[in-house]
Amino acid sequence: MQRQGHHMILLGSSHLADHHNFPSTFRDLLSKKNFKRFSKITIKGFPGQKLDSKFKEIIRHMVKQSAGSYHHTSIYLQLGSNDLRYPSSSLEKVTESFVDIIREITNLYPHNVNFIVPEVIPFPRNDQSSRIRYKQFNANMKTLSMSIQNMHIMKLSHVLTHKSKGNCHVPNTKYFKKDKLHLNQLGMYQLSKRIYQFLCSLSNPR
């Protein structure tokens, strides 16, 4: 079978799920912008999802299928908040887990697969310790991305947060639902717009 086109796969936790309206918001935005880079867009959101062994198998399976049908595959991987949610979470192990699966796949498909990893942003209901872990994780991933082929870090902190008096980024509550965890419609639009802007900033894949 002849491969053709570019497949965009967006994988993540509940923020990308159908019942939070991200898929329709994102597709509508791309349509209005007449953005036609992708032959196919697949969006999968799983509430409470972590980057565990089962989810890594899902990633491997989806990439294998996509790489056999399309010239290029982009994976947007929005995870990490659930992995780092609790004080007992090991920052080093979570970082290593992300790096391992990304290196594995980009080494296997060095010319036709790339990863986009957005920053993990704090939610209004997160405590200070969680926010510190998120910030450190983002810093670790940014550093490691420099040595990983076809991995891009997407900055999000300036989109869904604002600076407090202490010059620290804190969640902007106007983008979140009353549960202080999930994005509202305005937040979904802001996330969709940021992804669109980031995709436009990337050069066309090989």
Rounded to the nearest integer, the mean pLDDT of the chain is: 89
Full set of structural domains in the chain with CATH: 6-199 (3.40.50.1110)
- DSSP 8-state secondary structure symbol assigned to residue 37: -
Q: Is the per-residue pLDDT at 203 higher than 70?
A: no
pLDDT at 131: 84
Q: Confidence band (pLDDT; 50, 70, 90) for 205?
A: very low
pLDDT at 206: 41
* pLDDT per residue as tens digits for the range 164-189: 766 667 889 999 999 998 999 999 99
**134 three-state secondary structure:** helix
* pLDDT per residue as tens digits for the range 11-57: 999 889 877 789 999 999 999 999 988 999 999 999 899 999 999 99
Strands 113-118 and 151-154, how do they pair?
A: parallel
**32-48 residues labelled b (16+ CB within 10 A) or e (exposed):** eeeeebbeebbbebbee
**132 three-state secondary structure:** helix
